[in-house]
Amino acid sequence: MYLGIDLGTSEVKAVVIDAEGKLLALAGTPLTVSRPHPRWSEQDPQQWWQATCDTVAKLRAQIGPEHFKKISAIGLSGQMHGAVLLDARDRVLRPAILWSDSRSTEECAELTRRAPDLHEVAGNLAMPGFTAPKLLWVARHEPQLFEQVACVLLPKDWLRLQMTGQKISDPSDAAGTLWLDVARRDWSDALLAAGGMHRGQMPALVDGSRAAGFLLPALAQAWGLSPEVKVAGGAGDGAASAVGIGAVNAGDGFLSLGTSGVLFVVNDKFRPNPARAIHAFCHTLPQRWHQMSVMLSAASCLRWFCRLCSVDEKTLLEEVALLDDEALANAPLFLPYLSGERTPHNDPYALGMFHGLSHEHQRAALAYAVLEGVSFGMVDGLDALRAAGTGVQQLSLVGGGARSAYWAQLLSDALNVRIVTHVGSEAGGALGAARLAWLADGGEEEVVCRKPQQQDSFIPRASRHAALMPRLQRYRDIYRPWPALPSTETAQ
């Protein structure tokens, strides 16, 4: 059996699959995000570790201790771009700065000035969410701490350090740092130097489907596993979700509705297009790459609205489903920029909003606007991918948002593409991580990475697509860049 662990922003999720790829167990433990200042997002890595151990214990209880011992390999998936700073004794120097943190806007401009070939080598614009600008911010605002940095690890790779004692990453996750030569799949000494870093502060790199260490004996005993259990290289969450959904060959793609929203399409070569804020990253499998459009707030917008109205998602979605065509046509519009935005605006100062409210609007209409606004953000991302020469006719839907058939149909209507869901697709990156563990244990890619059984299919409806297009245009017209906010980004 194989264990896959996905370190997300809102929870640690893990699954166990058997040697046929069948999902045997799924468990999760929630996480919290600290926002001590505007535009800051941080987490304590110790919270990740406690949640990981708690989640593994839940799986062991589900399966039974004797059966759990049969696990032979573990795979890791994780939120990308986060910066875990370690000193020479591997102690965490400060809370991890997350992908959704946007304090380093000025440092992005500085990095671009220092590295004129950044876009060609890294394949991406310098954005505050990426790792390299975060370290420039630390060097500027926390210089004494910066001098102590002996290693920078991405979130899932810090988990690996706790599990194996090894500092190792994979190309898919490393591509999100802006320190990687993405075409060569190796660290770029020039890009590192532009950020005041060097290769000695970076982890080793292995493909995500290769073994990258073994469980430490004491941890193996605590988890009820053998110390011979391999730990695979793993992947950033997008690439791991792709492996889980079987998106491993050129042209395969998926749409992820998690905390953030991702459109992911596999390429057979490195195809950067930073002008449209498209991400070009390594896939976690050898000699493959991918393009992504990313919106920073997706299913998290719905969770935010539910908290605001003190209602659960199931009840709210049931209310939305009762709205008729007239109510949909007259619903307000929602901009989903609660954490700024990447594709297509690359605007960390972008703010969310409801537009067009009246006394007649009830919470169901506002909830529909949230679902529609996120869907329109995905349309912007798809248009950017198409402008980059990437064609899409069908997308698999993964992540927490995949549980809603209503939202899946709305996405199909807005994007004008066929949307399919798969059995187990809610497992997302955790399933992909488990599959990478299987590959590291000798599994064959054609068998391990087959597409999961299809659950539902959603075909775009011409009438609804036509009705949505005028609203999409108004949605786009509402957005205007905001001026930079007064800086609160001082060292604490």
Scanning the structure block, which residue is given the tokens 């004996």? Answer: 217
The pLDDT of residue 277: 76
Could you tell me if residue 492 is inside a domain?
A: no
Average pLDDT estimate for 252-261: 88
Could you tell me if residue 98 is inside a domain?
A: yes
3-state DSSP assignment of residue 267: strand
The pLDDT of residue 314: 94
Q: Which residue has the higher pLDDT, 165 or 272?
A: 165
Say if CB 374 and CB 415 are below 8 A apart: no
Mean pLDDT for all residues in the chain: 93
Model confidence over 267-325: pLDDT tens digits? 888 888 787 778 889 999 999 999 988 898 999 999 999 999 999 999 999 999 999 99
Instruction: Provide CB contacts within 8 A for 67, sequence distance 6+.
Output: 1
80 annotated to a ligand binding site: yes
DSSP 130-156: SHHHHHHHHHHH-HHHHTT--EEE-HH
The pLDDT of residue 258: 82
Domain count, the chain: 1
The pLDDT of residue 484: 60
Could you tell me if residue 191 is inside a domain?
A: yes
Please say if the pLDDT value at position 492 is more than 80.
Answer: no
Could you tell me if residue 147 is inside a domain?
A: yes
Average pLDDT estimate for 407-418: 96
Model confidence over 53-75: pLDDT tens digits? 999 999 999 999 999 999 999 99
The lowest-confidence range among 42-51, 85-94, 443-452 is 443-452
Looking up residue 188, the CATH number of its domain turns out to be 3.30.420.40
Instruction: Provide CB contacts within 8 A for 410, sequence distance 6+.
Output: 371, 372, 375
Backbone angles phi, psi at 334, to 5 degrees: -130, 125
Could you tell me if residue 150 is inside a domain?
A: yes
DSSP strand pairing (23-30 vs 11-17)? antiparallel
pLDDT classification of 485: cutoffs 50, 70, 90: low
Please say if the pLDDT value at position 490 is more than 50.
Answer: no
The pLDDT of residue 143: 97
The lowest-confidence range among 129-143, 430-444, 478-492 is 478-492
Q: What letter represents residue 263's amino acid?
A: L
Q: What is the 3-state secondary structure (H, E, C) of 51-72?
A: HHHHHHHHHHHHHCHHHHCCCC
| Torsional sign, CA 215, 206, 71, 63 | positive
Could you tell me if residue 373 is inside a domain?
A: no
The pLDDT of residue 346: 83
**Which residues are the active-site residues?**
237
Neighbours of 13 (CB within 10 A): 25
Partners of 187 in beta bridges? 180
> How far lies 243's CA from each of 296, 313, 335, 427, 451, in Å?
22, 28, 31, 12, 9
Model confidence over 350-404: pLDDT tens digits? 999 999 999 999 999 999 999 999 999 999 999 988 887 777 888 999 877 778 9
The pLDDT of residue 36: 94
The pLDDT of residue 488: 42
Model confidence over 223-238: pLDDT tens digits? 999 999 999 999 999 9
Model confidence over 31-42: pLDDT tens digits? 999 999 988 999
The pLDDT of residue 276: 74
pTM: 0.84
Please say if the pLDDT value at position 491 is more than 50.
Answer: no
Structure tokens at 59: 């799986």
Could you tell me if residue 390 is inside a domain?
A: no
Say if CB 424 and CB 452 are below 8 A apart: yes
pLDDT classification of 489: cutoffs 50, 70, 90: very low
Domain containing residue 61: 2-237
Please say if the pLDDT value at position 447 is more than 60.
Answer: yes
Model confidence over 180-220: pLDDT tens digits? 999 999 999 999 999 999 999 999 999 999 999 999 999 99
355 annotated to a ligand binding site: no
Could you tell me if residue 18 is inside a domain?
A: yes
